[in-house]
Structure 1
Amino acid sequence: MAKSKLRLDTRRKLKDGTYPVQIAVGYGTNLYLATGIFLPASDWDAATQRATGKSAKRINSVLDTLLTRVANRILELRENGRWNNLTSPQLREMLTDLDLDAPTVGVPTLGSLFETVIGTKAGSTATMYGQTLKKLVAYCDVYNVRFEAITKLWIDGFYASLTGLSVNSRGMHLRNLRNVINYALDENYTQNYPFRNYRIPAEETAMRVLPVEKMRTLRTLQLSAYDSEYRDIFLLTFYLIGINIIDLSRLTKDNIVDGRIEYRRAKTGKFYSIKIEAEAQEILDRYKGKAHLLRQFDEYHSYKDYAAHLNAALRKIGPIKMVGGKPQYHKNHLPVMVPLEPAVTTYWARYSWVTYAADLDIPKDTISEALGHVYGSKITGVYIKFSRDKIDAANRRVIDLVLGR
């Protein structure tokens, strides 16, 4: 593992009869760096690696300086552990441009790596990362930003540029940025981690929970066939432990196995197996589909379109408005309803299930496992398979609470 040295490259003579003086890097490499100095063979002493002709003193001084700079850079890269992680083109770049803090050859920019990461995501997660990339494009020339240039001050500037967004929405964009930087670290694209000791601002999210009394009212309301359908689908998501609409839209009869709905969540890929309780089965039978488990998703081309209609309808559903003891009706003879919860969406089913379960003192680990979240030690989870019976029992208790049993 010889150290770097100077040499005269006599393999090819230039037109003026001179040869280039190079730095042979050594340390297990086959790299030769140009010095910008050219000499005839008669003006070079190979044994001492010194120029001997006219202006030899000035030339040797320049060569010594270049060799020292390269040696110092090599020492730096070896001491910080980066030497063995760099490719030959990257080593050449780092030894040639001593102002660089990190190589650029073969290293993606922030923008290009964001696109790579988005390609590994699916559904709403990919959409959120795409939104963050758009915010970054508006903030900077993201396709020319190197990871070494990202500092805490840079992150603060990006955060400040997210005007008009809530604290939690801004935080979401910072978390996406942090995840991409972590990806760059894992792939050895950078050693810079600007999020160390960086606190991402956040504010407590308002609980989107339908009080159990309102859930009971919703379940027993006398509604038109149109409104009943949307109410029933909302209740179905609740009976299935807050299943997401995208996952519900993808279910077919093949997802029913021994009285259970089994599927992998689109967002995380995690496997779920949920017992079909009688209340859920009744709704599944009522809206049985052909290509899909539910006919609604046979009729809609996009689950997002159906979700939009579903949420809009849910926000209008409620008891009939009474004036002077008399029910009020629209001109089309449909009853005028007082919205039970004007802000409700399908997500409320999931939050409500969690809240009811907690109120019933169901253990946190059971609730966490039911939702597909990681609880406790990941290593422990490898050796202990959680009992489905606990989740089934928890779901039955939550449903019974709503039924008033």
Structure 2
Amino acid sequence: MENSHGNVYMIAGGMTHFKKINFNDDFRLNVKHSLDYALKDSGMKIGDIEGSVSAYFSDHLQGQLIAGAMSNDFIGLAGKPSKRIEGGGATGGLAFQTAYEEIASGTMDTCLAYGFENMSHVGTWRGNDIIALGSDASFDYPLGGFYTAYYALMATRHMYEFGTTEKQMAMVSVKNHGNAMYNPYAQAPMDITVDDVLKSPVVSSPIKMLDICLMSDGAACAILASEEVAKSYSGKPVLIKSIGSSSDTMRLADRPFGTVPLLPNENPEMYRNLKYPGVHSFRAGRLAAKMAYRKAGISNPQKEIDFAELYDAYTSAEIQAYEDMGFCQYGQGGKFIEDGRSMLDGDIPVNMEGGLQASGHAIGATGIMQAVYAFWQLQGTVHKHLGSNRLQVKNPHMGIIHSHAGTGAYEAVTVMEAV
């Protein structure tokens, strides 16, 4: 998509504390809390926003149809353009990209992207049952395919294909929960060890309890604007450099073998004997990254990306994403975490504030939460919003956010740049 309206910027963001249970605030109030924070931070008023995009995964979880319209009314945007986006775990990231498109097309000069989910309104097993409807309801779902089982299958194949270990997966959990210790918004900050992860209850081998993300209540929002408007409201707007997205078959068994979509810094010889994507990698993630990098003019993500907010619903998924995003060669994801490259002091820090593993996963809000964290990183204002500089990446110039749905049926990658 060509930007016919000049550059698009993020000028403010906000979120609620993600919680396991939040019966005091319904989804509308959570949205308002996140928006109030963003408006105060930017100096904007609700009347300055021309339209919105709402993001929530499941009507079943809310117990309410057209919840976006209800939220829009509650925050004072009734009578203005609005639309709802749903795309599984990628819902928030896709909504953020849709808000970008509203500005880039010239339809609006300001657009609010907000997401929410109140997952505690159903029990854990019912919640997993609803999430499992994000598989093929005529084929996978009747076989009892909860998502942990799908990811266990993919993790097992990644281990077989590339030699990835359970210890390397556990390192992701240790990193993300440890980072969350310094994030007041995080749901589950924990000082844990690799042994703690390995000894936690097995849910679906090789995936254990501490390899899995959280089910959360919460909301997040991002205010996007055209260049002219951004400069009038924010002293530190962040450029949305490019967006990329792709899709794949819902059923893993339908995915064909082919060649790896190469990034500019790769060559065919690197993957001469690799059957791709199989069930060890996410083709849609690689294609989304390739599109976003091309539009941003990125020729080597290993040298040009300073940090990333990656989808880590399972520790194995973060390792897979290292490879899909081109942070390392396919097959080297386990070594990437083991070598410390995704640590806060590594060359490409990943999920500095805890990721889905520890910050939480209020599905519709998650991709927008990632955008807010990336925005604060690129502004250099982590100390202002999180209370300390402990999680601030040093002098970041460019970062990405990555959203993922199902077993890779939808994927979205957005490149953001400090200006």
- Shorter-chain TM range is under 0.3
Higher relative contact order (CA 8 A, sep 6+): 2
Structure 1-normalised TM-score?
A: 0.21
Structure 1 or 2: more strand by fraction = 2
Larger radius of gyration: 1
Structure 2-normalised TM-score?
A: 0.21
